[in-house]
A and B are shown apart, each in its own frame.
Chain A
């Protein structure tokens, strides 16, 4: 439980509300580097030559033994924050012995050996169609490949497998033990062998889009199979409405539920703390309506009547939020003279002590603009700012409930905790996979539903 030092007691930590700003997609993910060409710096220089555009190789040596392989890696490892990675090679000339390989190796790979012949490397070899993964001996895997063939290698992060393709068809998969960064790797080993590589600059022969979609569908199928406890969605929605004090909506919902078939029982439910959620429902509804209409004076009035304890500590975060909002409302109607007076009387004392300094700064900044709505701090005049303050006050009132057991339930409804749990579990699942694979982003999931209509 978090003790809010402001009010010197047991109350929800309202500084959380500073995080809930704005709408729109909040994930600014770092863009990962993607392989684009072959690495000429650490390739086995003596044995091969890489073309000017760094997208093809030719074996230049005379294949005498197992340590003169012309192997080259891509310029950077395969990106991991996605469902799959894939690249292809085209065998221009299989040369004397067709000892071409495609695969993945780590950064410490001995650049004279075929991928797969050393630990932490995997290679699909054209001369024997075997898959090598760290031992000298290969395993039966697929067909051989030679001049004119297009062979692809990929990583499926969801299943943690490598997969290889030949001329547009899937050859097979193998489990990926290595969890660290892996470089797409190609190798040539006999006279005149020549290979072109495609890192996605050209369309692939294999339909990687369809393959990725298949994998997504598999995951989707697993989700769709789950049967839900009866009426669980109904209970969650009800709890959401109660939590935020949307009493009118709740009444409408209960009325409609009575006439559904079968009627959904609104009785005491196992586990959801009905009492906590219904506490002071009508008060919370009124307070929310007042804030939404911009009537902060009435809000203060009601609080003095109903919950004077909330206003007791004049330096508390909730007082700060309410005073800021009143200030904002004065600016909104253009009453700048009173706004300044109010700031001096009620906001100035928060300088240096508030947990939300950005808010104080931005509020005062509103005074600097002729058209505050169009300024960089114009967001304060939007509806969502009012909602934010209303939600914070809602949490405070809920925390006044003498039978309340934890502050966490004051701050978020069950639905939101469920969603956070979903994010956390997806995060955890991903970390079990060595932090590979797609990240879970709720907004993205909701958007793709609109497109996929599932």
Chain B
């Protein structure tokens, strides 16, 4: 099967589209100065949906990442009124970050009190019960880092919650909650996997050799251990 790259040389990318994709990443992750520098260095047009509140969104996400959930919640309420009411799952996750912070600072009585006043009300809805139980488990251990729920204390978990918060704020402002960059990379993966499956069946995987030569080598090594 031939997939000669020279056949696709005529596929010209619109420069403005490519720059918009780069910009979408910068904007999604609140790289405000970088975005401004990029726009002026390239002389590109400002897209119609260029967000104006990166300054406000950035500290919110940062606080969430640090584990300072109460501050993140306060600022979120200011920036996007009703957002947390409309996203109960997210609200719960943020409150749980504060709970985790209390547990880590060994303020167990405070943690218990906080959980009882703020977290247990969520337990009325079935899907939060399991989560609630997971968090309460942390209290049962003198060294929560050694409990089976230790991952709830990790930066990864905070990152996950912070990401969701970022996406929710963007969605609330009627902006895409995933950057074009992410979506296009995902889409490329899906199509490549499909072709790998369909063509690999026919060619015993020789197609994969082609994919490497077309570029993006670093990525195909990660994706396909062939």
Partner-A contacts on B (CB < 8 A): 3, 5, 7-18, 20-22, 25-26, 29, 31, 33-34, 37-38, 41-43, 48-49, 62, 65-66, 155, 159, 171, 174-192, 194-195, 198-199, 214-219, 221-223
Contact = CB atoms under 8 A, between A and B. Distances in A.
Nearest to A425: B191
A236 B29 CA distance: 14
A266 to B, nearest CB: 14
Nearest to B21: A415
B25 A425 contact: no
Contacts of A428: 3, 195
Given A223-B186, A429-B191, A424 B33 contact: no
A261 B183 contact: no
A271 B222 CA distance: 10
Interface stretch (A84-92, A299-307, A443-451): A443-451
A232 B219 contact: yes
Contact of B34 (A223, A256, A272): A256
A271 B219 CA distance: 8
Given A252-B34, A253-B31, A270-B218, A419 B183 contact: no
B215 A454 contact: no
Contacts of A249: 34, 37-38, 41
Given A418-B188, A419-B18, A425-B192, A272 B215 contact: no
A288 B189 CA distance: 34
27 contacts: A19-B12, A23-B14, A26-B12, A223-B187, A223-B190, A224-B186, A228-B185, A228-B186, A236-B25, A252-B34, A256-B31, A261-B155, A262-B155, A271-B221, A414-B215, A415-B18, A417-B214, A418-B184, A419-B18, A422-B188, A423-B8, A429-B195, A432-B199, A442-B17, A446-B20, A449-B183, A453-B177
Given A256-B31, A421-B216, A261 B18 contact: no
Contact of B33 (A224, A252, A269): A252
Given A271-B221, A446-B21, A422 B34 contact: no
Given A226-B186, A233-B181, A446-B20, A248 B13 contact: no
Contacts of B188: 418, 421-422, 425
Contacts of A387: 15, 42-43
Interface of A: 16, 19-20, 23-26, 222-224, 226, 228-229, 232-234, 236-237, 240-241, 246, 248-249, 252-253, 256, 260-262, 269-272, 292, 383-384, 386-387, 408-409, 414-429, 432, 442-443, 445-446, 449-450, 453-454
B88 to A, nearest CB: 21
Given A425-B195, A450-B49, A418 B185 contact: yes
**Closest A-B pairs by Cβ, 4 of them:** A271-B218, A417-B215, A226-B186, A425-B191
B62 A261 contact: yes
B138 to A, nearest CB: 22
Q: Which of B3, B155, B171, B184 has the most CB of A within 10 A?
A: B184
B41 A248 contact: yes
B57 to A, nearest CB: 13
A243 to B, nearest CB: 11
A269 B219 CA distance: 11
Contacts of B43: 292, 383, 386-387
Contacts of A256: 31, 33-34
A414 B216 contact: yes
A19 B180 CA distance: 24
B178 A454 contact: yes
A449 to B, nearest CB: 5
Contacts of A421: 188, 192, 214-216
A274 to B, nearest CB: 11
Contact of B11 (A272, A418, A420): A420
A424 B5 contact: yes
